[in-house]
A and B are shown apart, each in its own frame.
Chain A
Amino acid sequence: AQKVTQAQTEISVVEKEDVTLDCVYETRDTTYYLFWYKQPPSGELVFLIRRNSFDEQNEISGRYSWNFQKSTSSFNFTITASQVVDSAVYFCALSEAGAQKLVFGQGTRLTINP
């Protein structure tokens, strides 16, 4: 069975600090996809990134970066120079190839204080 664990339930930092959100996953599939979504107070899940199991390259998009390591089954998300607008609940998710069925972690509530 697939499982995603986000051990950090809540994180609170001061603006401009860097913050890393951890994600550990379990799957028996050799081909799978990993995702990060952001859920602001409005409730809508906003897609941030998709990574497939064959692509271990790290990715940077502005202040956001992702570190995928198959050896440790982790897909961590770092926000550099955090801003108040980054405050939200962040979800890591996993799906097997070919199945439109996401397994979500419990989410990490990130609060950025001014």
Chain B
Amino acid sequence: KAGVTQTPRYLIKTRGQQVTLSCSPISGHRSVSWYQQTPGQGLQFLFEYFSETQRNKGNFPGRFSGRQFSNSRSEMNVSTLELGDSALYLCASSWDLAGGPWYEQYFGPGTRLTVT
């Protein structure tokens, strides 16, 4: 079974630009979560999507947004990039049954974003 895939793996953008990152979950997984990893703040939760709806949201400004498609693939967008947005962005997927047991998240390799 293929794992979580993320594209692109590396990205360099200029301050003020916007960027879109893509994530394809493990087949059958309907929950997709996004995390930001920086040396200073560590791993922080951005948001989670399930069946095309944002179900959980972290404490990030509105410049960070996401969406999920009917095939469970997800994208996250960051507008008006700031230097502090330079980070490794990790996507994770999970098998999630409403009202059922809770399963672990499996992570992709991440997209390393550098803002100059």
> Residues of A with Cβ closer than 8 Å to B?
33, 35, 37, 42-47, 50, 52, 91, 93, 95, 97-107
**Contact: A101 with B33, CB < 8 Å?**
yes
Tell me whether A45 and B104 are in contact (CB under 8 A): no
**B interface residue numbers (CB < 8 A to A):** 31, 33, 35, 42-45, 48, 50, 55-56, 58, 88, 90, 92, 94, 96, 102-110, 112
Main secondary structure of the interface of B (DSSP, over half): strand
Would A35 and B104 count as touching, CB distance under 8 A? yes
- A93: chain B residues at CB < 8 Å are 43
Q: Are A43 and B105 in contact (CB under 8 A)?
A: no
B105: A residues at CB distance < 8 A: 47, 100, 102
Q: Please, how many angstroms separate the alpha-carbon atoms of A98 and B31 in the complex?
A: 12
Contact between B42 and A100, CB atoms less than 8 A apart: no
Q: Which A residues are CB-close (under 8 A) to B31? A: 100
